[in-house]
Amino acid sequence: MKMDMVFTDWTSLYFEAPQKDIFHVGYSRSHRLDRPRVTVGLSMDGESGMPIRLTVNPGNILDMTHFDDTVRQVLPLMPEDAMVVFDNGAYSTDNAKLLDSEGPVFVTRLRLNTTDDKFVRNHKDK
């Protein structure tokens, strides 16, 4: 696998079990705020569709926080000219700066605000 394009996404899984250790009540896409959960980050190779990394964090962790753990595991596997694709739930200025400093370009959807607008203007030629 070349891994010149990596798709990454996060979700949460809830459990019909008591809250303990890594299980934490947190944001629920399935509207089950009463259940303990974990968050899962999956990275896959863009060409083959093969999973390359899976990260698991407590259920009260936001995607933009989980991003750091997931991406730091994938970056060493990627060539310098690689691209990371992720949704806007994981986007933050800090995450953009991380990718900017580590080398790979990225594609995401932005919530355009003043800070993001400035970042985009500074990177429009990349």
Residue 30: pLDDT over 70: no
Q: What is the pLDDT of residue 116?
A: 67
Distance separating the N- and C-terminal Cα atoms of the chain: 25
Q: Give residue 53's pLDDT.
A: 95
What strands, in cross-sheet order, belong to the sheet with 105-107?
A: 51-58, 37-45, 5-14, 83-85, 105-107
pLDDT over 80 at 89, yes or no: yes
Q: Domain extents for the chain?
A: 5-122
Please answer whether residues 77 and 101 qualify as being in contact, where contact means their C-beta atoms are separated by less than 8 angstroms. Answer: no
CATH class of the domain defined by 5-122: alpha beta
